[in-house]
C-alpha cells in the first residue's frame, strides 16, 4: 500500500475518518504479523488474545460470558476458541461448582510453560510494533488508547442494548 496522501489542513471530521480507517488497517496488519509468529505452533491471534485476557484481566477463573464481554464477542465464539485450546491442552473448561450452567475457563500449566518459553521472542515482536516511536510518543499513545478503549466500551454497550 502506498503512503496515504495527507489532506492539507484537514478538518476534525476528516481526521477522525482517517484515524478510524487506519485503526482498522493497523489491527489487520498486527493480527497478520502476530498470526505469522504463532502459526508454527498452530495458535491463532484470537486464541492468543483470549489466553492473554484470561490470564491478565481476571483475578479469578472467568466464565465464558465474562470472557466474551471482555473480548466484545459472543459466548459461542469464546466456546469455539476455548474448545480448540482445551484440545491442545492449553485450557480447561469446567462447570462452576455453585451454578452448573456456568462454564469457567482456566489456563493450564502447559499453557503457562509455553508462554514462558516464548517470552523473549514475544518481547522482541512487541517492541518491533512500536520501534519508530520515542518514549513521549508511547506515553501519549498509551493515554489516548486508554481513553479510546473506555469510549469504545461505552459505545459497544449501547449498541448491544439496542
The Cα 160–Cα 115 span in angstroms is 34
pLDDT at 1 over 60: no
pLDDT for residue 4: 64
Average pLDDT over residues 69-73: 94
Q: Which of 2-6, 67-71, 130-134, 158-162 has the lowest mean pLDDT?
A: 2-6
Residue 94 β-bridge partners: 104
Residue 105 β-bridge partners: 93
Q: What is the DSSP letter of 109?
A: H
Whole-model pTM: value is 0.84
pLDDT for residue 6: 74
| Alpha-carbon Rg for the chain in angstroms | 19
pLDDT for residue 143: 97
Per DSSP, which regions of the chain are E strands? 91-95, 103-107
pLDDT for residue 23: 95
Model pLDDT for residues 2-56, shown as the tens digit of each residue: 666 777 889 999 999 999 999 999 999 999 999 999 999 999 999 999 999 999 9
Q: Write down all domains in the chain, each with its CATH number in brackets.
A: 12-131 (1.10.10.10)
Task: Please name which of 1, 68, 78 lies closest in space to residue 32, comparing C-alpha atoms.
Answer: 1
pLDDT for residue 3: 64
The Cα 156–Cα 46 span in angstroms is 19
Task: Please name which of 103, 155, 122, 98 lies closest in space to residue 49, comparing C-alpha atoms.
Answer: 122
pLDDT at 109 over 90: yes
pLDDT for residue 2: 64
Model pLDDT for residues 85-108, shown as the tens digit of each residue: 999 999 999 999 999 999 999 999
Sequence-distant (≥ 6) Cβ neighbours of residue 41 within 8 angstroms: 114
Model pLDDT for residues 115-138, shown as the tens digit of each residue: 999 899 899 999 999 999 999 999
Amino acid at each position: 500500500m502506498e503512503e496515504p496522501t495527507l489532506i492539507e489542513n484537514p478538518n476534525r471530521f476528516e481526521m477522525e475518518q482517517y484515524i478510524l480507517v487506519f485503526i482498522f488497517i493497523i489491527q489487520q496488519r498486527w493480527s497478520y504479523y502476530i498470526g505469522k509468529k504463532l502459526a508454527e505452533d498452530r495458535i491463532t491471534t484470537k486464541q492468543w488474545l483470549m489466553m492473554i485476557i484470561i490470564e491478565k484481566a481476571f483475578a479469578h477463573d472467568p466464565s465464558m460470558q465474562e470472557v466474551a464481554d471482555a473480548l466484545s464477542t459472543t459466548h459461542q465464539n469464546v466456546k469455539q476458541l476455548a474448545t480448540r485450546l482445551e484440545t491442545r491442552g492449553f485450557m480447561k473448561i469446567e462447570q462452576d461448582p455453585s451454578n452448573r450452567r456456568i462454564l469457567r475457563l482456566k489456563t493450564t500449566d502447559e499453557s503457562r510453560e509455553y508462554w514462558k518459553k516464548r517470552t523473549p521472542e514475544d518481547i522482541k515482536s512487541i517492541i518491533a510494533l512500536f520501534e519508530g516511536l520515542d518514549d513521549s510518543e508511547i506515553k501519549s499513545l498509551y493515554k489516548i488508547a486508554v481513553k479510546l478503549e473506555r469510549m469504545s466500551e461505552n459505545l459497544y454497550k449501547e449498541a448491544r442494548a439496542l
